[in-house]
A and B are shown apart, each in its own frame.
Chain A
Amino acid sequence: MLILALSLGGCVSNSTSSALDSGANQVQLRQIQSRAFDTTDKTKTLRTVISTLQDLGFVIDKADLELGSITATKLDGYALRMSVTVRPRNAKQLLVRANAQFKEAAVSDPAPYQAFFNSLGKSMFLTAQNVD
C-alpha cells in the first residue's frame, strides 16, 4: 500500500492540512453527495448499494450494517474509491450519502454523484430525492 501511495502520490504536494481539507462549501457538498429515499429498510438499501457498486465495476472493501456504511474501490486504469453511508433521515426516509476519491483528489463535481444516484435509484425502484 505504501508503494501504491508513493507511486500515485507524485503529483500532489504533501501537506498535513489535507487531513482537514473539505474542499468546496460544506453545505453545498452535502447536497451534492446526498439523496433521500422513501424507505426505512436499511439492510435492503445497503444490499442494493452493494449490488449497484458491483454493477459499476467496484469491488467492495468494507461493509458494516450497524454503521450503515459501504466502502468500495474501482480499478480501471485508475483508482476510484467510494464510501456510501445509509442512515435514517426521518420516520419515513433514509438518507444515502456518497463520497468519492479519484486518484488523490476528492470528487466534488456534481455530475458523477448524479450518475451514481441515478444508477442506485433504478436498482431500488425508488426515486432519489434531493435534500436541502
Chain B
Amino acid sequence: MRPVFLLLTAGFIVGCQQGIPEDALAIKPDTLERRQLESRRFVGGKEGDILSACAGVAQDMGFTIDESETKLGVLVASKTREASEAGSRFMVALLVGGNAANSMDKSQKIRLCIVVKPVVGKEGTEWVVRATFQRMVWNSYGQLNRLEGLREPELYQQFFEKLSKSVFLEAQKI
C-alpha cells in the first residue's frame, strides 16, 4: 500500500510542479537573429538624448513609462489594450455561443523594454538600442490565455523608423 501511496504522491508533485525548461537560460541558435531583429545602431548623439527619444516614441505608441534607470540605459513601459476586435467576439458569440466568445482573448498587457548600450565604433562611441516586446493575454473569464514574446519583424521595423525620425539619426542594422 505504501509504495502505491508514495508513487501517487510523487506523481501529484511532478504533475503540479513542472520544472524549468532545460534551455530556458541557454543561448539558442536563433539568439543572434533575434538580437539583430531587436537592435539598431546609432552613430553620434548622447545616450541621454537617445533614451529620451525612446521614451517619446514609447509615448507615441501609447505606452506609459513604468521604470527607468538612465545610468544603465534602461527604460520599461507598458500598455493595456483590447486583445480582440469587438466584432469578431460578437460573431463567435452568435455562431458558437457565449462560452466560446468568453474564452477568446479579451484584454492584453503589452510590455516594452528599451536598452541603450554604448559600443566602441569607428567614429567614437556608438549606441546600440535594443527593444523587446512581450505580452500577457486574458480572456473574458479573467484567465491568463497567453504569455509570449513578440517577434513580428514589422513591429520592430516600425519602432525603429519612429525612433530614427525622433533622434534625427539614421538607424543602422547591426
Contacts and interface: CB of A to CB of B under 8 A. Distances in A.
B134 to A, nearest CB: 5
B82 interface: no
Majority DSSP secondary structure for residues of A touching B: mixed
Contacts, number: 120
B135 interface: yes
B96 interface: no
Interface stretch (B54-62, B68-76, B85-93, B154-162): B68-76
B113 A59 contact: yes
Given A7-B142, A75-B134, A112 B72 contact: no
A42 to B, nearest CB: 10
Contacts of A3: 138, 142, 144
Interface stretch (B1-9, B18-26, B163-171): B18-26
Contacts of B135: 75
Nearest to A117: B25
A41 interface: no
Interface string B138-151: 10001110111100
A119 B130 CA distance: 18
A50 B147 contact: no
B16 A47 contact: no
A4 interface: yes
A51 B116 CA distance: 10
B136 A118 contact: no
A76 B27 CA distance: 15
A76 B34 CA distance: 14
A113 interface: yes
Contacts of A4: 136, 144
B147 A77 contact: yes
A65 B70 CA distance: 9
Interface stretch (A28-36, A89-97, A100-108): A100-108
B16 A11 contact: yes
Closest 9 CB pairs of A and B: A75-B147, A63-B69, A116-B25, A63-B74, A102-B20, A115-B26, A65-B71, A115-B25, A59-B113
22 contacts: A4-B136, A4-B144, A8-B144, A46-B72, A51-B115, A54-B35, A55-B31, A55-B34, A56-B25, A56-B26, A57-B132, A59-B111, A59-B133, A62-B76, A64-B69, A73-B134, A76-B149, A77-B148, A80-B20, A102-B24, A112-B20, A113-B25
